[in-house]
A and B are shown apart, each in its own frame.
Chain A
Amino acid sequence: NAGVMQNPRHLVRRRGQEARLRCSPMKGHSHVYWYRQLPEEGLKFMVYLQKENIIDESGMPKERFSAEFPKEGPSILRIQQVVRGDSAAYFCASSLLSGGRSPLHFGNGTRLTVT
């Protein structure tokens, strides 16, 4: 009964490179959310996806960031041309239902370091 799986756990990239973060939701969950956590802060919403659809990307930076949740395979958060300010922990969460009582179940996060 696997939980939300994120990989890699740690990712180091040089400035200007691309970062790809993967997330497999819990079995049966079709709602996926990406959050970013800066040191000493809470999680900030980035994007909400369902299979093949971006529902809300209001928390995503307008440039360099993109997300997808294809019909087959994990959800991917992609950061192009990374900068030092992108260094953070990125958490993926999934939910059985939207709204209401259904909690979000989080993965262990990917810690991105940009050197």
Chain B
Amino acid sequence: AQKITQTQPGMFVQEKEAVTLDCTYDTSDQSYGLFWYKQPSSGEMIFLIYQGSYDEQNATEGRYSLNFQKARKSANLVISASQLGDSAMYFCAMREASSGGGADGLTFGKGTHLIIQP
């Protein structure tokens, strides 16, 4: 089973609109972290935002916020007032606390290709 599911392969959004990128996850751990990364066409991976499983409030970082619904196992990324420079691939990832080195790294979804139109 997929650990991280991103159901939107691509999205087109008008500039200045808000965007929600979907992410659902699957884990039996009680302690885990959820991350979003941005990958522009230049290829680097840029860390955007983090949400811990025990965090009571939704994480926010500038125009980015994370809509965390633990019971639904979803961690959607919300970008407010989108800009042309937001066009990129966006990856949701999970880090589980269970033992095992690979599990100590990140498991990534397949990504959403976001295109902001003027």
List chain A positions with a Cβ less than 8 A from chain B. Answer: 31, 33, 35, 41-45, 48, 55-59, 89, 91, 93, 98-101, 103-109, 111
Contact = CB atoms under 8 A, between A and B. Distances in A.
Interface residues of B, number: 28
A48 B107 CA distance: 13
B33 A48 contact: no
- B contact patch SS: mixed
B100 interface: yes
Interface of B: 4, 31, 33, 35, 37, 42-47, 50, 52, 91, 95, 97, 100-111
Given A101-B52, A105-B47, A56 B101 contact: yes
B87 to A, nearest CB: 16
Given A42-B108, A42-B109, A45-B107, A103 B47 contact: yes
Contacts of A91: 45
Nearest to B55: A101
Contacts of B107: 45
A109 B42 CA distance: 10
A55 B104 contact: yes
B33 A33 contact: no
